[in-house]
Amino acid sequence: MSNLIFKTKETPVDFNAVETVIRESGIPNVGRASIREVVRMINIIEGKTGMKYVRMEMGIPGLPTPKIGVDAEIEAIKNGVNSKYPMLEGLPELKNEIARFVKLFLNHEVDPYGCVPTVGSLQGSMAAFITINNSCDDRDTTLFIDPGFPVHKLQLDVLGKKVESFDVYDYRGEKLRDKLESILSKGHVHSILFSNPNNPSWVCMTDMELKIIGEMANKYDVIILEDLAYFGMDFRKDYSKPGVEPYQPSVAKYTENVIHLISGSKMFSYPGPRLGMMVMSNKLQKLKRPALKRFYPTDLFGYSMIYGTIYALTAGASNSGQYGLCAILKAVNDGTYNYKDDVIEYGKKAEIMKKLFTDNGFNIVYDKDLGEPIADGFYFTIAYPGMSGDELLERLMFYGISAITLTTTRSERNEGLRACVSLVNRSQFPDLEARLKKFNEHYGN
């Protein structure tokens, strides 16, 4: 445990209880604890002390699923769909709605063939990593524009595949071109993954940056995995109206070398059925790569992805869940349900919570998108002057506040923490304010 200056001071949560739980966890440095380890420790402290924490460590959705999705799934179950296997490539009506959605909200034309429901968007990334690696015998590395979602790296780690990354913080705007050029020109990278908006930093790539990424993808024949887990949640603009500008910014405007990974979990509050969407561009659907024949009966990229990799992984996604997602998507595409009306709550809470932190001596780590203040959304990043992220996380635990350090997301901003707003109830704001005030009294100058 680091040298805690508050040993003589009164902390909101009983000092000995927190210290004991940290010590007994056996984790030498709390700042390096995984999300699940933090969750476990806080659960134990809450149980021991009866204190309710302001819990910001886990990025799980905190809103009810739209009724239209729940009703459609129940109806499908009653109709007996769960007594049958789902179609491996997805329900035809769902594939059509996904293609419609991509046209209406990304302004990107795709054939429904390349629109595949997956078991969470995470299965989409896993399938993409496998198929892309199998399609190359001359290149072997996925590049991450970090910070990012640790599970993507875990996927490549368990596959035994190579990963390279850099922190976007130092390479915004035109600097991104030089950085990408310096890596891609070596010739070993076959794919790039980035998330927009970004988990954990909530950085949103500007159109200029997306253009740079797209141009680099064309120049070096690299496949972009554009992770849109937080689709439309840059609330500075309204991307939620079907078929009208502004569209969710996408690299697809500048390259056809793109696979979209879209999650139902956050945007449609639909994490339980584990349904995501993988969307291959028309070019990639038809792309031929001879190296694929080492693993699949064909050299066709799209076919190998669906009838090779997805088949081998799960042979399709939840049958009833697909009906639920299909109903939500249809309503969104028809303009009868606006998803933003629900998820905007995350942005509203973030605005208030960020102010509580900055009023009490904290600063926002990733604070700008090229001069423009960062959007309010699902996550924000915080630091406190003179403290490392590891120290800050540990100290905040004594004040009834939990988060994760940015270092666990491979950010180079080792002074920072990621805070997730989803599980914090508005009724906890007064507690949060009082705890932050006390923290600042104890540590401020």
Ligand X SMILES: Cc1ncc(COP(=O)(O)O)c(C=O)c1O
Chain residues in the site for ligand X (CB under 6 A)? 59, 120-122, 149, 195, 199, 227, 229, 263, 265, 271, 276
End-to-end CA distance of the chain: 23
**Coil, strand or helix: which one is 204?**
coil
CA contacts within 13 A on the Cβ side of 239: 21
CB of 122 or CB of 210, closer to ligand X: 122
Nearer to ligand X, 56 or 300 (CB): 56
- Smallest distance from ligand X to CB 197, Å: 9
Please state, in angstroms and as integers, the Cα–Cα distance from residue 81 to each residue in 72, 76, 118, 293, 319, following that order: 12, 6, 17, 35, 6
Which residue, 149 or 337, is less far from ligand X as judged by CB?
149
List, in sequence order, every residue forming a beta bridge with 404; answer none if it has no partner: 418
Separation between Cα atoms, residue 203 and residue 172, nearest integer Å? 10
**Number of Cβ atoms within 10 Å of the Cβ of 199:** 23
Q: Min. distance of Cβ 124 from ligand X in angstroms?
A: 8
Measured from the CB atom, the residue of 261 and 344 that comes closer to ligand X is 261
Residue closer to ligand X by CB (options 380, 398) is 380
Q: How far is the CB of 121 from ligand X (least distance, A)?
A: 3
For residue 142, the minimal CB distance to ligand X (Å) is 14
CA 419, CA 228: separation in Å to the nearest integer? Answer: 19
The span from the CA of 263 to the CA of 406, in Å, is 23
Q: Which is nearer to ligand X, 74 or 151 (CB)?
A: 151
Count of CB atoms within 10 A of residue 82's CB? 15
Closest approach, Cβ 149 to ligand X, in A, equals 4
Structure tokens that stand for 375 in this block: 């959007």
Residue nearest ligand X, Cβ-based = 120
Dihedral (Cα; 123, 124, 126, 132), 10-degree rounding:
160
Q: How far is the CB of 228 from ligand X (least distance, A)?
A: 8
